[in-house]
Structure 1
Amino acid sequence: MKPHYLVILCLVFSSISIDLIAQTSSQPKKVKNIIFVEGDGTGLSQVSAAQYFKDGPSNYDRFPVIGLIKTSASSDLVTDSAASATAFASGKKTYNGAIGVTPDSIPIPTLIEIVSKKGWQTGIVVTSTITHATPACFYAHVDDRNKHEEIASFLPVSDVDFFAGAGLKYFNKRKDGKNLLKTFEENGFIIETESLRDFESAEKLGFLLAPTSMPTMLEGRGNFLQEASKLALKRLTNTNGFFLMVEGSQVDWGGHDNDADYLIAELIDLDNTLGDILDFAEADGETLVVVTGDHETGGFTLAAKDGDYNTIVPTFSTKNHSATMVPVFAFGPGAENFGGIYENTEIFHKIMALLSE
């Protein structure tokens, strides 16, 4: 073979090798961890409030992918938190008030139950009771969201490895006289009821820091949501993967009260927590973060004051939920799948599709 042909062949094979290396190095990473964040009662106007009332930029601005979900329940045009959380956790439309069950009250598997079978660790962090509608739908199966003691009985024997929130009375001051704190201990949990701190030797760890709900931000709750979420990430990070559900529960309650100061303080707390979560996901590179709301509460708007387009006055149109679509924000491997307009059940199915890859 003539020398110049050898040179050409070498150049061709070198080019192919470089292209293959580039393609290999640019292949997206698979999802190892999933953090699902819900702002209860958080619609687009609630998210927008961070743009106007937070000191500094909103962490919602950091998400590259945005979608919209339709939120109706199987029973009603306007959903409640239970039906919506069941849609997220199990991919099934159900009736308002249902906790992890179908419209026929049949239990359906939750994301926590599914990923635990893959060897993942799981966690829940909320500013409500741990038996409240949203967290309950990820570990319990009960026909009525108001059955807090029945919901509580699922948690000690569930696949949850870490949790933080309130609701102590549903475990140790029960009408049936049972003390479920002992059941937690029998199942490998250390339960802390005073303060948020780590127990490095604990196999499983739970925090029940108030009899019912956590204090509001305006009452001085402080950075509980941030610190509990960071502790969860520290505890759950492992070689197999983890699923963590974080809820800013009380954004919804500010909406129900038509209390803009309450709502905005809770929304900013959630926004700050998102900053820590996104920092973790950016550094990790294998963590998918999906953020949404179960529904909008209060018919909240950011209105101009009497035609003064430089003054915003938060206003409400209802003390209840609304039927408006809710935004979805996604970051990390697989985030591109969460754009578009779709039913709230699709969040579950999109996550499951990524897990099967």
Structure 2
Amino acid sequence: MKNWKKTSLLTALVLGLLIVGIFYLFNLKVVSSSGDIEFSPGLEPKGTTIDSVDNTPRNIIIFVADGLGFTHLSLAMLTQQKENKTSVWQQFDVKSWHDTRSTFGPLTDSGASATAMATGTSTFFEVIGQDAEGNHLTNVFELANAQQYNTAIVTDSYIWDATPAAFVAHTGSRDNAREILTQIAASELDLLFGELEDLGEDEIPDLETTIEILKQRFQLLDATLTLPQQTEVLAPIAAIFEEDEIQDMTSTPNLLQLTDAALRYLSYRDSPFILLVECEEMDSASHRNDSKRVLKGIAALQETLSLVLDYAKTQGETLVVFTSDHETGGLAAVSDSNYPNLQLVWATKNHTASVVPLFAMGPGAETFLDVKRNSDIGQRLKILISTSKGLSE
């Protein structure tokens, strides 16, 4: 009897361990598989062809809101709308979205995404102006310069940051600040407004060296942004500010003021132009999950975008393309228990794989109706530059 009890006890113990083991393995499999989602690769856009463009632009303004996703856009529409006035977001002819993925996979960074938008070719993380194999890619600014366009960059970030760099430079890493600055100085860029950051650290030249490099190309303006007289020969100009000096509408200067000065300067030159305007505030704030800074950044973004759209409508021959390079923060706008009170909830302090907005207004806007990937944007910009009526004037 005692032997039977011992045998039964041993059998129960073994059976119990077996059940626990099976349960453990099952749970382990579930936990593991939840982090290993198999993403479909998606078709890489082939060379874009446009049979005809009914109304080609003379000028192109590319407005990139770094880190902005659809919830950021929702906040803009919820918090910035003025009574009895049409929302700036309703003024676009084309309202769509695009997939920001890189050759790495569903995620991207500003280097890869901006390179795709500037060149029409997808690439790897951190890369500037090159494909995933390290080959240099012609960007839209280089194509425009060859066609006698003026080219300009306005950013509230630092001037060698990934987004502006992708439209001018070619290097294997966005951290190669000295190389990017040297290429900017050797480029045909006509205007550069932005900040400096982390001077003297790692690959970043100190202030004196940075100024020496920039003076090889640009006439440096003071903080008042006093432009050369319209009757003067207009040399390429740059206005450089300290780290985080350009933030929201309370900043002096702010993105609105810089963009206004850039448009006046480009109008003085009286030639076709392509202008990149970057608002970095969404990305910087979202990496910190700083909701208050997001709202301030949205206000600066929307005021600047309103200026750009007003200019385009008044001028009549300017295409505006507004988009983002990726979403940052996994932002959600939700209600608390006291509905409809609104709360902002963050999922991460990193980039997400979310699709992002793509809007266009003006001549040539219809070419962005069927964009699927960020590289499609670059391909269409290249076609529009090559066919622009500004070239015949």
Give the TM-score band, short-chain normalised.
Answer: 0.7 to 0.9
Shift of 1:193: 5.1
Partner of 1:287: 318
Partner of 1:9: none
Q: 1:239 to 1:216 in 2, by over 3 A?
A: closer
Shift of 1:90: 0.6
1:346 aligns with 2:372: no
Q: Given residue 305 of structure 1, which amino acid in structure 2 is its aligned partner?
A: D
May I ask how many residue pairs the two structures share in their alignment?
327
Pairing of 1:1-357 with structure 2 (within 5 A): 28-54=54-80, 56=82, 58-167=87-196, 175=205, 179-187=209-217, 189-192=218-221, 194-200=223-229, 201=232, 202-210=234-242, 212-217=243-248, 220-222=250-252, 224-237=254-267, 238-306=269-337, 308=339, 310-357=340-387
Q: 1:61 to 1:79 in 2, by over 3 A?
A: same
SS in 2 for 1:319: coil
Q: 1:203 to 1:49 in 2, by over 3 A?
A: same
Counting strand residues as a fraction of each chain, which structure ranks higher?
A: 1
Partner of 2:48: none
| Distance in 1, Cα, partners of 2:125 & 2:204 | 25
| Distance in 2, Cα, partners of 1:175 & 1:30 | 41
| Distance in 2, Cα, partners of 1:68 & 1:190 | 38
If you compute each CA radius of gyration, which structure gives the higher value, 1 or 2? Answer: 2
| Distance in 2, Cα, partners of 1:135 & 1:175 | 18
| Distance in 2, Cα, partners of 1:67 & 1:140 | 29
1:23-50: CA deviation from partner (whole Å, max 9, x where unpaired): xxxx954210000000000111111111
Q: 1:320 to 1:28 in 2, by over 3 A?
A: same
1:108-143: CA deviation from partner (whole Å, max 9, x where unpaired): 111111101100001000011001110111111111
Shift of 1:338: 1.3
Shift of 1:215: 4.3
Q: Given residue 50 of structure 1, which amino acid in structure 2 is its aligned partner?
A: A
Q: 1:175 to 1:164 in 2, by over 3 A?
A: closer
| Distance in 1, Cα, partners of 2:207 & 2:237 | 23
Partner of 2:31: none
SS in 2 for 1:67: strand
SS in 2 for 1:103: coil
Shift of 1:267: 1.5
The answer to whether the 8 Å contact 1:82/1:98 transfers is: yes
| Distance in 2, Cα, partners of 1:176 & 1:147 | 14
SS in 1 for 2:341: strand
Shift of 1:147: 1.7
| Distance in 1, Cα, partners of 2:200 & 2:222 | 11
Partner of 2:12: none
Shift of 1:170: 5.1
Q: Percent identity between the aligned chains?
A: 30
| Distance in 1, Cα, partners of 2:372 & 2:125 | 20
| Distance in 1, Cα, partners of 2:223 & 2:319 | 32
Shift of 1:213: 3.7
Q: 1:253 to 1:183 in 2, by over 3 A?
A: closer
The answer to whether the 8 Å contact 1:29/1:285 transfers is: no
Which region of structure 1 is more displaced relative to structure 2, 164-173 or 92-101? 164-173
The answer to whether the 8 Å contact 1:66/1:340 transfers is: no
SS in 2 for 1:179: helix
**TM-score, normalised with respect to structure 1:** 0.85
**TM-score, normalised with respect to structure 2:** 0.78
Q: Given residue 71 of structure 2, which amino acid in structure 1 is its aligned partner?
A: S
| Distance in 2, Cα, partners of 1:141 & 1:47 | 31
| Distance in 1, Cα, partners of 2:114 & 2:384 | 20
Structure 1 residue ranges (4+ consecutive) displaced by more than 6 angstroms after TM superposition: none
Shift of 1:182: 3.4
